[in-house]
Amino acid sequence: MNLHLINLNYTLGIILWITFITSNAQDSATTDFSPLHKLEGFTQTYYYSPGQQERATNLALFLESAMRYFQDELDFTPEIKLYILAPRHWKQFAAKPLQDVYGFPHNIDKVRLAVAAEDNDFWRSFLPEVKSLPSDLAMRVRQAYGTPDGSYSMRPFFDLLALHEMAHSYTAQGGLNMQRHWMGELYVNSMLHTYIAENRPELLPALETFPDMVVAAGTAGYEFTSLEDFERLYPTLGMGPENYGWYQSKFHSAAKDIYNAGGEAVMLNLWSALKRHQEEMTDAQFTDMLRKEVHPSVAEVYENWDSTD
């Protein structure tokens, strides 16, 4: 495996591992909003550090557009509070495990989301040495994350993760029974990919390039690669952060394949099915339901997982 891809994969795993740890955090951020300003004129609540109104407005417009799309398609909108934070405010409002990791977007408690207002060293640490990548990946990285001055920024990717975290708020507040841990992660990636593909296709390179690099590096060095392992180890994240990052990249790749196979209808059908089926299901019953009521491509994520590495 390419050394730079190993480092990239490991760092992605750390990010997603921290996301997992903080996804159920409660009372981990202060409710004193005094240092922050509040955007007006939006349906949800947006707090931002002084001097960051333009950045906050752009993120609010992006998420509000996504929420309008999901409201039209799913007939549901969760409560969302987004915090767009400068470094000086990060420790005060971020979830406790992330107070020293400025730049990591995360869902604090299924309602509150925290994102960075400024580019930062954490984002920059994800960029490999572009010249050392295979030529096709290097070209994609330049197109997705290159800047006019010739440098690179991971902001385009990290901005999209706010929508991923918001999707967890949809499933948590919308009463869905995700049935399996792997489905919980696959579905929010499906929501994210479907919205971008349907409404902002120009953002697909930023969304796809990063996880594609991880999946392209293969499975060498990973102890756990099966969905059975993921299901067993997910509650305690016993597979470790790097291995977890590989799983997340696979889920995003699967979400892309699902969309390409059936379009937005798959995401909509899956929402309805997970809301409708509150009963416990065996693996056979679950995959049969997915094939018949949702789309064969979703059942095939489980059935063909090991054969699609």
CATH architecture, domain 3-308: Orthogonal Bundle (1.10)
| Domain ranges for the chain | 3-308
Q: What is the pLDDT of residue 9?
A: 52
- The per-residue pLDDT for 264 is 97
Say if CB 152 and CB 146 are below 8 A apart. Answer: yes
Cα–Cα distance, 172 to 267 (Å, whole number): 16
**pLDDT of res. 52:** 96
Note the pLDDT of residue 29. 44
Instruction: Look at residue 277 in the predicted model and tell me its pLDDT.
Output: 98
The pLDDT of residue 124 is 83
> pTM for the complete prediction?
0.86
Q: Is the Cβ–Cβ distance between 24 and 165 less than 8 Å?
A: no
pLDDT along the chain (309 residues), means of 10: 49 55 48 78 96 95 98 97 95 87 86 93 82 89 92 90 91 96 95 98 94 83 94 86 83 95 98 98 97 98 80
What b/e sequence results for 201-237 when a residue is b if at least 16 CB atoms lie within 10 Å of its CB, and e otherwise? eebebbbbbbbbbbbbbeeeebebbebebbeebbeee
Side-chain half-sphere exposure of 10, counting CA atoms within 13 A: 11
d(CA 171, CA 118) in angstroms, rounded, equals 29
